[in-house]
Structure formats: structure tokens, C-alpha cells
Chains A and B, each alone.
Chain A
Amino acid sequence: MIRIEENKCDFCGCCVGLCPTDCIEVKEAVIEIDDDECVDCDLCIFICPIEVLSHVEKTAV
């Protein structure tokens, strides 16, 4: 699953533009990822310009 460092996020939404399952929601200053819909493709991690997102194993949470 994807971990979000919300206090780093700029809410630009470029992760939303790539997400194949449309599981990311970005509002004015809120970002949420639906873990059940996420398929761990990590595209959002790659594209994020400011290293907000990272991959964590589900068991680690």
C-alpha cells in the first residue's frame, strides 16, 4: 500500500492523472488513497515531484 506524507503534499494531483484504478482523491488540501482499490503499481510514487508517497507493506501498518 501507499503511505502519504500529507504535510509534504502540494495537492497538485499529478498522481491522480496516472492512477489506473482511480483510487486517489485530491481536494484543495486533502489527499486520500483507497487501499482496497490500490493495485500497488507505484506509478504515483514515481511521478510525485516532491517525494510525498512511498510504498509500505500492509503488514507494517
Chain B
Amino acid sequence: MWKKQQFDVVVVGGGPAGSTFARIAARGGLSVLVLEKDRDIGVPVRCGEAVSDAGLRIFHEPRDRWIKSTITRIKLVAPNESSVEFDMKEKGYILDRRIFDYDLADMAVEEGAIVITKAYVDGLLIDNDYAVGVKGTYLNEPFEVRAKLVVGADGVESRVGRWMGIRTQLKLKDMESAIQKTVSGIDVEPDRFEFYLSKKWAPGGYLWVFPKGRHMANIGLGISGNYAREGKAACRFLDEFLEWKYPQASVLTTVAGGVPVAKTLKQIVANGLMLVGDAARTVNPMTGGGIISAMRSGLLAAETAVELIKNRKDLHMKNLREYEHRWHKIGGRNHERYYRLKEAIFRFSDDDLNRIASRIAAVSVDDRSLLKLFSIAVAQKPTLLIDVVRLFARL
């Protein structure tokens, strides 16, 4: 029985970051317990479910059962409803994360990890300023589990880091207030992402239509916390859009959620503790995409954990920083660039976006690329060039 055991690692949260950590750590010979607060792994799906083929392949050969749609094209819709289309250099997918997350957890179990759902963690066991386990409730019964290392994979609402003094609170401008409905009974192109860019649809963010076949799509949007302050909630924007564009749509799922579009936290380890995924703020701040980066942080953290625990090293934060360094080197620095780019792009007015769209429309389809889009955007708004130069100066 897991409650009576001691583990090398207890992981709080059974999403892609937690399950990837658990799989790699268990494969490396560590005893690993994953505690998930919800009833099911993978449910509710708080995600647009888009990933790139290349990103997914870093970790797994894509399985047919994970994939609802294969995407090869992007359509950008400007505020005046003119639109431009691009072919993507690399294909992407819309996943079924209920199945994907379930399989990731199962792969961790195959490597020897134990996964438990409905286990709610509400505090840490702390000894000598080290996290040495977690406490919580399971089916209304209190429990305590001791472990050498605690991993916070507890998402945007992460509290695990705070219990060891890491300040994880986001600024309002660094959170997107998001809502998504999975709708059916509509007609969509099954191989095309659609992005709607306008302050009227999603101020400080964007609205997405991600197809799940020909007649179903995830339709959602995120608005910047700064705009959310003005009093119109994300749900109002989405309802207006659906009423305008798809008034006959049936709604099969509705989920709300926050997307952390911040730079990764500088500190993502403490004594006996690591943060991974959304809890560490690893989401790409420009796109809001976070599945692959969460898995990457889980992988890096697990490699460091295996190395340290196998060699009986002290799990002092100065040793765990190896993970922090590796993340900031591989993922974190890119995220800083994306963060700056996001700040620059969201400064475009609707008029700017309309002009950019009309200029792109004048470029032949074969010549369209994201680079071309970018150069047109820069021509439209020279101040963006300064941001871009700054961006590349840091490469």
C-alpha cells in the first residue's frame, strides 16, 4: 500500500510533466509515487491540445489513438475578417489529451512508478529545511508519504513551491484568462489551424479554432490579464464569437483555465524539491503552448534526480540546481525571447494587423512563410525591429 511506503520521489500532479518525470525516474531505478488530485488522469482537459510532430517525437513515436487531426496549414484572420493562409513547414497534431495523458501515466507505471488518483496534497513534510514528503487527504482520510525528493508538477495553480518559500505567484499581465469549448455540428477544415487576431476577439491574446475532424473543433481564446481587468470576462468574448460564427454549434465540453505566459521562474528548485511544467512556468509565453516544454522539464528534472539519488548525493538546492541550469540553458532562454516577442506583437493595434494581413495577401502563396510574415510585420511597425534586434542580440 502506497501510504505505508517510503519513496525516492513523490510527484504531485499526473499531467505530462509529472508522468514524464515519473517514467524517466522510474526507468533510472528510482521508486516513484505520483499523486493526482482529480478522479481521472487526463480529465478535465484544460488545453487546446495542439503539438508539433517534431516536439512530440523528442519523446514518443506518435500513436494513432492520440491524434484527432493532423495539421499542415495555418489560417490567420485579421480584425477586418480578411485572412491569409500558410503551409506549415512541419506538421502538427490536435491530440486527444484524455487518451494521451492516460498513456503517459501508464508508460510511467510500466517503468515501475505507482500512480494514484483522488489523492489531494495540501502540504509538505519539512525536516531541517528540506522537503521530505507530502501530506494530504485520500478519500477523506489524511495521509503522509515520506520521500527523498518532492516534485511539484501541480500545474498553473501550483502551491508546492510556495510551501518551500519559492514565490510562484504570477503577475496579472503574465496570465492569460482562457476558456475553450469543444464544439460539434460545424464545418471546419480538418488539416488547418485557425487563429483570430483582434482586440475585439481576444485582447492581448488570440482566439483559436483547432479542428478535431471535419465537424468538431476546440474553439477557445485567451485574453491577457491586463485586459481582463477591464471587466469583460473571457467567457463573454467566446460566447460572442460563437454566436457570430457558429450559432448552431453544439457544445460537448467547456473548460476554463489560466495559461501562464511568463518567463520561467528563476528558482525552480529548493532543498528536496523540484518544480516542473506549468508549475515552473515552462509554457511558451508567445504561443501559450506547454505540452512539449512541460515534458522536457520533466525529463531534465528526472535525469538530475536519478543522477543525484543513485549517487546518494545531498538533495540540497545547490545540487538540484543542475536541473535549473539545464532547463534555463535549453528551454528557458528561448522562452525569454518568446516573452519579449509576445510583448512586442501584442502592441499591434487592429489597424496594424489589418494592414499586415493585406500586405501578406499580396505575396504569392508559395512565397509565404513565417519569416515573410515577420518581415512584413516589421515593415509595418519599425519599433518591432528594435525588439527583434534586442531579441537576437541575446542569441
- The answer to whether A and B come from one shared complex is yes
Name A's B-contacting residues (CB within 8 A).
10, 12-20, 22, 25-28, 43, 46-51
Contact with A along B233-248 (1 / 0, CB 8 A): 1110000000000000
- Is A47 within 8 A of B172, CB to CB? yes
14 A–B contacts from the bound complex (CB under 8 Å): A10-B256, A10-B257, A13-B157, A13-B258, A14-B177, A14-B256, A17-B156, A18-B172, A20-B169, A28-B118, A46-B228, A47-B225, A49-B177, A51-B235
A52 to chain B, nearest CB (A): 8
Which of A16, A48, A49, A50 is close to B157, meaning CB atoms less than 8 Å apart?
A: A16
Whether A50 touches B260, Cβ cut-off 8 Å, given contacts A13-B155, A17-B170, is: no
- Is A46 within 8 A of B172, CB to CB? yes
- Report how far A18 CA is from B260 CA in the complex, Å: 10
Question: Which residues in window 151-191 of B have CB below 8 A to A?
Answer: 155-159, 162, 168-172, 175, 177-179
A20 to chain B, nearest CB (A): 6
Q: A18-B258, A50-B235 are in contact. List 7 more A-B contacts (CB 8 A).
A: A14-B178, A17-B258, A18-B172, A28-B120, A43-B172, A49-B234, A49-B256
Q: Which residues of B contact A43 (CB under 8 A)?
A: 172, 225
Name B's A-contacting residues (CB within 8 A).
37-39, 44, 46, 118, 120, 122, 155-159, 162, 168-172, 175, 177-179, 225, 228-229, 233-235, 254-258, 260
- Is A27 within 8 A of B175, CB to CB? no
- Report how far A4 CA is from B360 CA in the complex, Å: 46
- Is A48 within 8 A of B177, CB to CB? yes
- Report how far A43 CA is from B258 CA in the complex, Å: 13
- Is B169 within 8 A of A50, CB to CB? no
Q: Which residues of B contact A25 (CB under 8 A)?
A: 122
Q: Which residues of A contact B254 (CB under 8 A)?
A: 10
Main secondary structure of the interface of A (DSSP, over half): loop
- Is A50 within 8 A of B256, CB to CB? yes
- A-B contacts at CB below 8 angstroms, number: 92
Which of B156, B168, B229, B235 is close to A13, meaning CB atoms less than 8 Å apart?
A: B156
- Report how far A36 CA is from B235 CA in the complex, Å: 30
Which of A17, A27, A51 is close to B233, meaning CB atoms less than 8 Å apart?
A: A51
Q: Which residues of A contact B234 (CB under 8 A)?
A: 49-50
- Is B229 within 8 A of A46, CB to CB? yes
- Is B235 within 8 A of A49, CB to CB? yes
- Is A12 within 8 A of B255, CB to CB? yes
- Is B175 within 8 A of A12, CB to CB? no
- Is B170 within 8 A of A50, CB to CB? no
- Is A49 within 8 A of B120, CB to CB? no
- Residue of A with least CB distance to B46: A12
Q: Which residues of A contact B260 (CB under 8 A)?
A: 17
B234 to chain A, nearest CB (A): 4
A54 to chain B, nearest CB (A): 11
- Residue of A with least CB distance to B37: A28
Which of B38, B122, B156, B168 is close to A14, meaning CB atoms less than 8 Å apart?
A: B156
- Looking at A25, A46, A49, the one whose CB has the most chain B CB atoms below 10 A away is A49
Q: Which residues of A contact B170 (CB under 8 A)?
A: 17-18
- Report how far A28 CA is from B305 CA in the complex, Å: 29
- Report how far A27 CA is from B169 CA in the complex, Å: 18
- Residue of A with least CB distance to B168: A17
B389 to chain A, nearest CB (A): 32
- Residue of B with least CB distance to A41: B172
- Is A46 within 8 A of B159, CB to CB? no
- Residue of A with least CB distance to B254: A10
Q: Which residues of B contact A47 (CB under 8 A)?
A: 172, 175, 177, 225, 228, 258
A6 to chain B, nearest CB (A): 14
